[in-house]
Amino acid sequence: MKTDIDRTAKGLPVLRLRRGKEESLDRFHPWVFSGALIRMPEERDGIEEGDLVAVAASDGRIIGTGHFQIGSIAVRMLSFDADEDIDAAFFRTRLSDALAMRRAIGLPSENTDAFRLVHGEGDFLPGLVVDIYGDTAVMQAHSPGMHFARNVIADEITALQGLGVTNVYYKSETTLPYKAHLDPQNDYITGAYSHNIATENGLRFHIDWLRGQKTGFFVDQRDNRSLLGQYSRGRSVLNMFCYTGGFSVYALAGGAREVISVDSSSKAISLTDANVELNFPGDSRHKSHSVDAFKYLEGMENGAHDLIILDPPAFAKHRSALQSALRGYRRLNALAFEKIAPGGILFTFSCSQAVNREQFRLAVFTAAAQTGRKVRILHQVTQPADHPVSIYHPEGEYLKGLVLYVS
């Protein structure tokens, strides 16, 4: 069937924007929304999800190149240079730049070999996440285009000078659009399983990239775990939603009097216990419970703990769930304010991208006001520097946290 889609001299299909919709792209924002296009491609156009496309302004000026997909975000821009080829050399340059930035902030180091190498739009590779655990890279594709480029990307990761990665595990079964029917398989692209222990600030952790959430470990809390360690000495610590027990291990390292880890998942509790044992064998200061977090807080004695961590999973993965999520944050934090001992410190977080910093802070403020406690902000925290936010893509800031002193 005949199509009215033009093609560039290099054969890329050209998707044209409605008048005025090029303004955000001229400011280097990497997303093209479907509503900004004069029309979405149809079957007769011969454009498949994950294909490279050129994006043009309404006057025909080529703005750049990106990956096409069906959805509200129609194109994720890879380059704003109309002449740049998206090939192995392109990924080599982007990955080398990402590694150079990590080296500038001291990663990896003698004490830390667990870090994020690629943070999607923050590293100008939208749709791609790569976490490093020693000699293993765990790659996640969030777009069909990155899924199709996975083998090239894996080759370029292992070729990075001085990184020392020999294994690349691909883990995208739950991150790619279901309707794209890509049926990705979690498996090694390069290398094989060697070991699953990584080091963070001198502490060691079992990383379960085979069965765990995300890439197996939340490297985005590294700086906040370190901060928690500074406040832990002599305190009774409660780590809610503990998952792999990262905060628990740091609390023990910081000299906590006791640490209680709580998670509804028995698998998470087993991993927490294993990580505690790896760093503090036979340490009686740590206890763990597999139980619902809200029920545990409700049944807990007032003043039992003077340091509480609330790091729940995302309450809102989409904007449609925003109000429900805010109610959840208010309820959770109100329980913590009611239960924490006077002079206690509360670390409270939201990793929901749909909840912005102001909305989260208001939810916590409302919870504090409900309880009548005197609350002071000690720190306002976010994701670490190896999860950079492109200045052109503020949506990349997703982790929000408050460290609060409660009288």
Residues annotated as part of the active site: 351
DSSP symbols for 46-69: T--TT-EEEEE-TTS-EEEEEEE-
**Residues β-bridged to residue 65:** 54, 79
Cα 80 from Cα 91, distance rounded (Å): 15
Order of strands, sheet of 136-141, starting from the edge strand that comes earlier in the sequence: 114-119, 128-133, 136-141, 167-170, 187-190
DSSP string, 374-396: -EEEEEEE---TTS---TT-GGG
What SS3 class is residue 106?
A: coil
CA gap 99, 117 in Å, rounded: 6
As a three-state string, the secondary structure of 250-265 is HHHHCCCCEEEEEECC
Q: Name the residue type at position 198.
A: A
Under 8 Å between Cβ of 406 and 370: no
Query: Distance (Å, rounded) from C-alpha 100 to C-alpha 92?
Result: 12
- List C-alpha distances in Å: 110 to 107, 134, 197, 199, 306: 9, 11, 14, 9, 33
Cβ-contact 205, 198 below 8 angstroms: yes
Please tell me the distance from the alpha carbon of residue 356 to that of residue 358, in angstroms, as a whole number: 6
Structure tokens at 318: 């989409």
